[in-house]
Each structure stands twice: as C-alpha cells, then as structure tokens.
Amino acid sequence: MQKTRMLIGWLRAAAEGVVAAMLAAMFLTFVLQIFSRYVINQPIGWTLEVCLTLWLWLVFWGCAFVVSHDEHVTFDVLYKSVRPGTRRVFALLGSAAIVVGLGISLLPTLDFIDFLKIKKSAILKIPMRTVFSIYAIFLISAILVYAWRFISAIRHGLPEEHLEIGEILQESASEDEPEDAAAGRES
C-alpha cells in the first residue's frame, strides 16, 4: 500500500511538472510573440498556434491529472443543505451521470479525433489528431475517476471532506460522549 501511495505521489508530481513546463513554454512563446510584434515589428505566425495548442493541452492535461474533484468550481448550495444520506444519493447520481454521459460520447469523440488525421494546423502543419488527442485522454481519465468515485461512494460512503464542519464536530462530540457519560457516573 505504501508503494502504491508513493507511486501515485510521484505520478502526480510528474503531471504537475508537465503542467508547469507547458505553462512556462506558453508564457515564453507569448512573450516572444509580443516582442516580435511590438518591438521589432515583425510578427511571428507560429507563436499564436503554439500558444493555442499549449493552452488546450494545459487545460485538459491539468483537469485529467492534476486538479482533483474537490478543487473544481462547484455550485453546491443544495448539496450542502441536505443530510449525508441524501448527499450520498446526489454523489452517486452525479458520478453515474458523468460516467454515462462521457461514456456515450467517448466512441464518437475518438472517431472524430481519428478523422482529424487528414487535417493539419495552418502554420506548423501539426496533425489536428495530435492537437486534439488530449481531449480523448481527458475523457478516459474523467470516466475512470468518476467510476471510481461511484464505486467508492457505494462501498465506503462519502469522504469526510464532503461533510460540513458542524457535522464533523457533532460526530466527534458523539464519539467522545460515552466516555464523558461514564466518567460522570463514576464520580
């Protein structure tokens, strides 16, 4: 189990390194684009294409491998206002909807990405299949993550971070109560 956690930690750090490298490359390309356009008045055409491709890869790579479920922006007013049992049902329905929806779109998406092999980017002539292949990786990753969340919610319920601080305090107080009651009876 320890080796698995170490491997996951290493893979997560490597994925974060890839995001950092893509962000640095995009920033440097953007600075080059500004310099060439406004300082030497000779715009470089490929810089825009590189920035757009890196942005696409940065977003989908980050969402697939770096950003966890709880770090995404959510609108959870209804979710947090109901009891934990109802939250579990919401989490199961949400996970199932994501798995089914993305699962239905997977084969047509893969087919379309494969179709893009006949098209190339305008300046660098990169096959568009290569450019958009990151979306297929994202889809597969999201399907696996939410399938795992569905199975985990069935087996183990919701993780602690889905509970409000008041519920966590109530749980810890109820765990401490039998000892306090027993100590009160002894004195």
> CA–CA separation, 112 vs 110, rounded Å?
5
DSSP 8-state symbol, 66: T
pLDDT value at residue 164: 46
Give me the percent of the chain exceeding a pLDDT of 90: 65
pLDDT value at residue 160: 56
* Diameter over CA atoms, the chain: 87
Contact 15, 65 (CB under 8 A): yes
Q: Is the dihedral of CA 161, 166, 167, 168 positive or negative?
A: positive
Give me the percent of the chain exceeding a pLDDT of 70: 84
Rounded mean pLDDT of 127-145? 96
Give exposure, 106-116, as e/b (b: 16+ Cβ within 10 Å).
Answer: eeebeeebeee
* Mean pLDDT for the chain overall: 86
Non-local CB neighbours of 139 within 8 Å, separated by 6+ positions: 102, 105, 106, 109
pTM (two decimals): 0.78
What are the backbone angles phi and psi of residue 134, rounded to the nearest 5°?
-65, -30
DSSP bridge pairs for 120:
127
| Ramachandran quadrant class, 125 (left: phi over 0; alpha: psi -120 to 50; beta: rest) | left
N-to-C CA span, the chain: 45
Residue 57, token pair as written in the block? 């890869």
* pLDDT tens-digit series, residues 152-174: 999 988 775 544 444 444 555 55
